[in-house]
Structure 1
């Protein structure tokens, strides 16, 4: 769906989480009160819940901080700012990753950042949909051009995971873990996910789009479709998180941009020890699915190439380059 200018203005007013009368909203938008009601009805399509109380007016269930480029850039470090080419903020987009993959066909630029308030087709790993209610979470993708081909950036998702954990710790989140190959967990519940998509020549220049989805607040109704244990930052840090969204984006970019920019030069070994210190699967019973095949065992960490090491019931060690990993209740 498209967001009209009136609907965007309405959201900007209601973002404070306070009651606003129908009369005041109608005057602001220069429309009738029935037109205001019609606009409010469309909020449900964006995953937004609102309250209507006679004599008080309308308010959002949760206050929002809409994305603001100037606020984000004001909180960037000089190092991150130097690596940033451009920030694009979309009210509605199919997927921030898809947008930058299309852009990569037209440009060799690195440091292009795409953010969205709402994704109609947010992408998770293996074709899953990423739940993307309007204005609640962070949907962020970064485009970067690498000169030496996909092989030179093997393991990039592990380095990106380290960067995300650094940002979380800097913002006061403890007990963060990394689940191979690219999920960020908090006390065995998923907080964020990374999706890296690469296009270009096998032995020449290639583009990587590094996508990150992070839960700030997931409304219960929206979270019903999620089939795994999850958590959001509001549960961890409290309601103030929703009013710090631009600060969180800046904190992530401050860590992500230098890691992404330097990876081709530093490569995976620079991040392995730090990644291992956050490994939340080490010693856990897990199941790995590769296509129709299933492998059960105990995680023994990752090797120097970033492959997952799994010991089966006989103690035999096997390395996995990819696969869907599920914790197993014992």
Structure 2
């Protein structure tokens, strides 16, 4: 999917959150008033909330800070900057993971970072969609190549969960926890998710596309499609967080990129103690779904390999390498 240049110019004008008349907008982007109206309707379809007031014009419900590669690069730590071969920002993609997965088949690139303002087919786990309205959240993917095979990357999602919590802590966000294997929670509600797609020979080399979706603001109309408890940063921090979007991306890259680059050597052992302190499922009653099968029990943490430990009603401990976990009432 692409977004017309006139629509992007309109967005840049409206990003300040102030009122602009239809006549002013039409003049500045060199279109008719009726074309402005069509563009404004298109913004609504992208998940951008507009306020129209007679005599004053149009403004966004809240200002936007659009992503800017130079702004982000200027905030990167030296190590993170050295690990990026290219940082690209797209107005719209089907998905950032999908874009880099296709790129990985065409070039030997590594260290590619891709961000999008909007995803028309954002990816969640197990084929689910990821709600991706324009300009409100973080949709971020990294392409990295490893000399070892996929087996050497076991536990990478857990390590990256720790990295994301570190970044959020640097942004002043507390009470964040981790839900096995790749979700970031705040007070029992999902704030972010990690999706890692690995391709390559079993004995190596391989490449991984690491995706992160983080909720800064989910408009109510888009949030209706989410079938689990969720939260966004506006609810946690207030609306000022929307003016720190580029800084937040830089904080995430500063923490995530060294973990991605060094994981073959560090392995999960470098992160497991910190992950356990952040475990928001420990002692909780859950169901673990493997295909059509459901296993009920109490979470007893993770083992040294990062497998989920579940105690069944008979007191037997079972380890899961993968699965879908949902909280349940006791």
Interval of TM-score (by shorter of Structure 1 and Structure 2):
over 0.9
Question: Counterpart in 2 of 1:139?
Answer: 139
Q: CA deviation at 1:47?
A: 1.0
Matched residue of 2:79: which SS? Answer: helix
Length, aligned pairs only: 330
**Per-residue CA distance 1:178-204 (angstroms, 9 max, x = gap):** 000000000110000000000111112
Question: Counterpart in 2 of 1:116?
Answer: 116
Question: Counterpart in 2 of 1:69?
Answer: 69
Question: Counterpart in 2 of 1:19?
Answer: 19
**Per-residue CA distance 1:205-235 (angstroms, 9 max, x = gap):** 1000000000000011110111111000111
Q: State how far apart, in whole Å, the 2-side matches of 1:208 and 1:320 are.
A: 22
**Aligned 1:113-192 pairs, distance under 5 A:** 113-192=113-192
Q: Report which stretch shifted further, 272-281 or 31-40.
A: 31-40
Question: Counterpart in 2 of 1:33?
Answer: 33
1:288 aligned to 2:277? no
**Per-residue CA distance 1:228-281 (angstroms, 9 max, x = gap):** 110001111110111111011000000000010000011111111111010000
Q: State how far apart, in whole Å, the 2-side matches of 1:243 and 1:329 are.
A: 38
**Per-residue CA distance 1:273-320 (angstroms, 9 max, x = gap):** 111010000000001111111100000000000000000111100000
Question: Counterpart in 1 of 2:80?
Answer: 80
Q: Aligned Cα RMSD in Å?
A: 0.8
Q: State how far apart, in whole Å, the 2-side matches of 1:324 and 1:151 are.
A: 20
Question: Counterpart in 2 of 1:9?
Answer: 9
Question: Counterpart in 1 of 2:238?
Answer: 238
Q: Structure 2 stretches of 5 or more lacking a match?
A: none
Q: CA deviation at 1:108?
A: 2.4
Q: State how far apart, in whole Å, the 1-side matches of 2:49 and 2:81 are.
A: 36
Q: TM-score w.r.t. structure 2 length?
A: 0.99
Q: TM-score w.r.t. structure 1 length?
A: 0.99
Q: State how far apart, in whole Å, the 2-side matches of 1:19 and 1:93 are.
A: 29
Q: State how far apart, in whole Å, the 2-side matches of 1:210 and 1:218 are.
A: 22
Q: State how far apart, in whole Å, the 1-side matches of 2:118 and 2:100 are.
A: 16
Q: Report which stretch shifted further, 45-54 or 293-302.
A: 45-54
Q: Detail structure 1 runs of 4+ shifted over 4 Å in the superposition.
A: none
Q: State how far apart, in whole Å, the 1-side matches of 2:32 and 2:314 are.
A: 73
Q: State how far apart, in whole Å, the 1-side matches of 2:323 and 2:152 are.
A: 21
Q: CA deviation at 1:46?
A: 0.7
Question: Counterpart in 1 of 2:203?
Answer: 203
Q: CA deviation at 1:4?
A: 1.0
Q: State how far apart, in whole Å, the 1-side matches of 2:285 and 2:251 are.
A: 34
Question: Counterpart in 2 of 1:51?
Answer: 51
Matched residue of 2:218: which SS? Answer: coil
Q: CA deviation at 1:329?
A: 1.7
